[in-house]
């Protein structure tokens, strides 16, 4: 429990309680006009910092992670959610109207990631959305400060846009692609050198399902 608390507090401090990212995610979820009390899965939820972005929209929140102590911690903080490390439980709760994998896939190598994507596709409602949000690698990064910041990143599979898309497009149809800059302390300053650029891929399971190009104006 102490490690989970330290992890949670460090993230909240460094990211300004992830305020900017929560606002961004909420805006994207709202734009999807999901059905009333839709079921949402936060895959790789960690300490569930993003749970309020889902629940404040009336979505039924399910947090999945492989780290049980983080789930125990999150379940104490967010009483209304379902928190599990069980894939069987997810199968029982499926289908989900929206599945978000937020900064999780950069911890997973390609081969197991393919298996996770097959699993996630099986959980998604036919008219549902899968949203990937993940840290973009910056090849030939010109900023020394940013390069040092990236060395703190614990995930070993921070990918380029092309590599994320290559993995995702074997299973889903990408409808919208955005890049959202997440700056330390949620500062809204373009010049600030401590940031992550997050690739956002909003995807359909069924290529015939609509929804491309909605409300992307003003994204940063
Ligand atoms: C950087 S944290 C992101 C947590 C949260 N989504 C957020 O954005 O604050 C990555 C999380 O992915 C989880 N994770 C790593 N591999 C996973 C897997 N194969 N399935 C589910 N979760 C995984 C880790 O346990 C960790 O909690």
| Mean pLDDT estimate for the chain | 90
For residue 40, pLDDT beyond 80: yes
Average pLDDT over residues 135-159: 86
Q: For each of the domains in the chain, give its residue range(s) and CATH number, in order of start.
A: 2-204 (3.40.50.150)
Nearest CA to ligand 1 atom 14: 44
- With tokens 């972005």, the residue in question is 53
- With tokens 């950069």, the residue in question is 106
Q: Is the CB of 46 under 6 A from ligand 1?
A: yes
For residue 220, pLDDT beyond 70: no
For residue 218, pLDDT beyond 90: no
**Of 92, 103, 99, which Cα lies nearest the Cα of 61?**
99
For residue 113, pLDDT beyond 60: yes
Residue-wise pLDDT for 168-208, tens only, equals 999 999 999 999 988 877 777 778 788 889 999 999 997 77
Q: Is the CB of 63 under 6 A from ligand 1?
A: no
Q: Is the CB of 104 under 6 A from ligand 1?
A: yes
Indicate which atom in ligand 1 lies nearest the CA of residue 133. Answer: 8
pLDDT at residue number 150: 82
For Cα atoms 22, 23, 26, give the angle at the middle one, nearest 5 degrees.
80
Indicate which atom in ligand 1 lies nearest the CA of residue 155. Answer: 1
Q: Is the CB of 137 under 6 A from ligand 1?
A: no
pLDDT at residue number 9: 79
pLDDT cut 70: percent of the chain above it: 95
**Of 23, 18, 26, which Cα lies nearest the Cα of 183?**
18
Cα 211 to middle of ligand 1, angstroms: 27
Q: Is the CB of 67 under 6 A from ligand 1?
A: yes
**191 contacts: CB under 8 Å, gap ≥ 6:** none
For Cα atoms 125, 118, 54, give the angle at the middle one, nearest 5 degrees.
45
Q: Is the CB of 38 under 6 A from ligand 1?
A: no
For residue 211, pLDDT beyond 70: no
Cα 165 to middle of ligand 1, angstroms: 19
């Amino acid at each position: 429990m102490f490690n989970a608390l330290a992890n949670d507090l460090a993230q909240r401090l460094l990211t300004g309680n992830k305020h900017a990212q929560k606002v961004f995610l909420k805006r994207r979820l709202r734009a999807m006009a999901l059905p009333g009390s839709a079921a949402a899965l936060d895959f790789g939820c960690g300490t569930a910092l993003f749970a309020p972005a889902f629940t404040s929209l009336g979505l039924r929140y399910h947090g999945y992670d492989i780290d049980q102590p983080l789930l125990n911690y999150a379940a104490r903080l967010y009483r209304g959610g379902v928190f599990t490390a069980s894939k069987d439980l997810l199968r029982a709760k499926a289908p989900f109207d929206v599945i978000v994998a937020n900064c999780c896939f950069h911890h997973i190598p390609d081969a197991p990631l393919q298996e996770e994507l097959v699993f996630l596709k099986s959980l998604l409602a036919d008219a549902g959305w899968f949203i990937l949000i993940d840290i973009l690698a910056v090849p030939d990064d010109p900023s020394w400060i940013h390069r040092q910041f990236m060395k703190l990143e614990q995930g070993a599979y921070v990918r380029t846009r092309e590599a994320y898309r290559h993995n995702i497009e074997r299973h889903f149809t990408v409808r919208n692609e955005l890049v959202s800059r997440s700056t330390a302390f949620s500062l809204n300053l373009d010049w600030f050198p401590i940031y992550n650029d997050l690739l956002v891929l909003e995807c359909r399971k069924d290529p015939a399902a609509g929804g491309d190009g909605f409300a992307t104006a003003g994204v940063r």
